[in-house]
Structure 1
Amino acid sequence: MSETPRIAIDAMGGDSGPAVMIAGAALARKEREDLAFILFGDEEAIRAELIRHPALASAVEIVHCTDVIAGTDKPSQAIRRAKTSSMGRAIAAVKDGTAHAMVSGGNTGAMMAMAKLALRTLPGIDRPALAALLPTLGDNDVVMLDLGANTECDTRNLIEFAVMGAAYARVVLELDRPRVQLLNIGTEELKGTDELKAAAAVLRDADYLHMRFDGFIEGDKLSRGGADVVVTDGFSGNIALKTVEGTARFVTDLIKRAFASSLRSKFGFLVSRPATRLLRHHLDPNNHNGAVFLGLGGLVVKSHGSANDIGVANAIGVAARMVSADITRRIGEDLANISAHNVPAAAQ
């Protein structure tokens, strides 16, 4: 797109509120000077943080909001406050075209509920999905979806997720034909639920799409780098995500404990510091921050609530890349291909 990407930011979202969200915006604009922001939240608190980032002041507009969605608020409660809360008004800015995308570190369930109500789903999409990047041992990260938006999915949902995930991978991973796999309890064609097997049958013959379907993948292979996109239902995806994140914390904590166990271990730490620094960087969730609600009629990005300024900047960067790449159009074109090739009734 030729015009300046405008990102609506829920400045009150996240564990640290305006301090981290605005610091992240400042960092993102250092990396990409054509960005502009609309900050939604308490104006006094926002201006107090902007003083720390004078270079950002010329690129922001502030919209004062008195209401904040808490992490404990139920989606039904949040929807009723969509017109007054910083999160709801930031989403509304995407709906009315004031902003091209929205970023928040707030309540995920509330964010999904408000975004789906305000932005609706794209034509041909039954349900939106939550997608994020996970680190791997390969040349690039892996896109995984759904990560919790839909606990139960049918065949059609899985096919749609594959299409959306591949479009997303083409943007963030810069791949022409991403390798797509379905998460399953085994790699054999006869294993898995009927929905998984039916989705695999459709995707296996979908050589007209901008992807390469590589069958099934098991959970222990997620980080090996053999897939660019992994598709699953939100129940399994959320468990897999939490398991990966927990394992990463376990490994880093175990290494810290091992290096502190003796004088010899501490000396070993000094020798291996470059390697441990690389490991810490690879496993740091801030370096992979920015989960995307794919399939909506507008761009919405979820930042980790505990993200630091680097994490928030990465989430903003994801939003900006999707705006520039016009990912909504790409998804629409691929969905049109699915419809044009008459997906079997069993996959509907």
Structure 2
Amino acid sequence: MMSSTGVMKRCRFNIEGATTNPGPSRPPRPTASKSLKLGMRRGSEGLINLGQTLKTGVTRAVFSEDLKVSEKKIIDPQDKNLLIWNKFLVLSCILAVYVDPLFFYIPVYHSNERCLKIHKSLAHYITTVRTIVDLFYLIRIGLQFRTAYIAPSSRVFGRGELVIDPAQIARRYMQRYFVVDLLSVLPLPQIVVWRFLHESHGSGVLATKNVLFWIVIVQYIPRSIRILPLFSELKKTVGVITETAWAGAAYYLVWFVLAGHIFGAFWYLLAVERKSSCWEQACIKAKKCEIDYLYCGYEETDSYKAWMNVSKATLDERCVENEAYGEFDYGIYLAAVQSKVDSSEKFISKYFYCLWWGLRNLSTLGQGLETS
């Protein structure tokens, strides 16, 4: 009985694995659990080594810890300084989208001379701000050629491999966002304004106004499109754009004010265009004036002084700024003409009036507008 019990004790199942009493000349055998752990460890190491050595379609791929000892000056996309710079770049992109509509405020009417001119001091200020913003954008373009990216085919292993080959980084950026970034940073509005300030006058105001209108609209498309990838990139690396509810509310409020700012700037420029159309029609009907004299720059000529004698009767009678008595229908731009905002050189008051108009009609969906 005792012997059978002893045999049962010696033969009971042990989860740690059966052991034998090693002799003096034989080393102990490893237990089954230790063998299993050792096999799993070796298997996981094999998978990691496989992930590091497997060809993923790129010629130079490393992990983030290897990038620190790399001789090439390649930036880790998870680098904290780069993340801070990306946030700053998002703000600069929003500022760039905000600055461009300010070019629409450059044309202004000269009340005493009754002509349209370019506000030179405002033009200098806006072109300077736009150039500074573009410089930050150029730095961003340069960083894109030196920032590593994660090979898409290596993400199946849980941690992606960084491609650090400068040629592949440049090729990837050229195929994706380089054209959009290049179109966004071209200093086309500055060139148009600087050319007018140094070479043009008179009827050049009309050409400058029309060219600025189309350049800003066309260049506004890539500038707006480029913001979306930046936000998605920040969400991938940081996780969220704003960390508090108040910051989120302020974030959406900024976009609402930006939309009102754009609507107000367009409304101002189109109001100037509407008044210019009225003056041109008045000159054609009166047959007493030169259309070129409607644009400032001919003040020193004798014929312009003769035009000033008849301009008051010609323009003021046909382009009355009163809806009840005027022959010309200003439509939704009547408020700009009556408030003299189109002839005011006080930019701050002019800007906030147009911003208020844009926010009001944006919030009411334009229900209070008086159409022509």
Whichever structure has more strand as a proportion of its residues is: 1
Output the TM-score relative to the length of structure 1. Answer: 0.21
Highest relative contact order (Cα 8 Å, sep 6+), 1 or 2? 1
Whichever structure has more helix as a proportion of its residues is: 2
Question: If you compute each CA radius of gyration, which structure gives the higher value, 1 or 2?
Answer: 2
Output the TM-score relative to the length of structure 2. Answer: 0.20
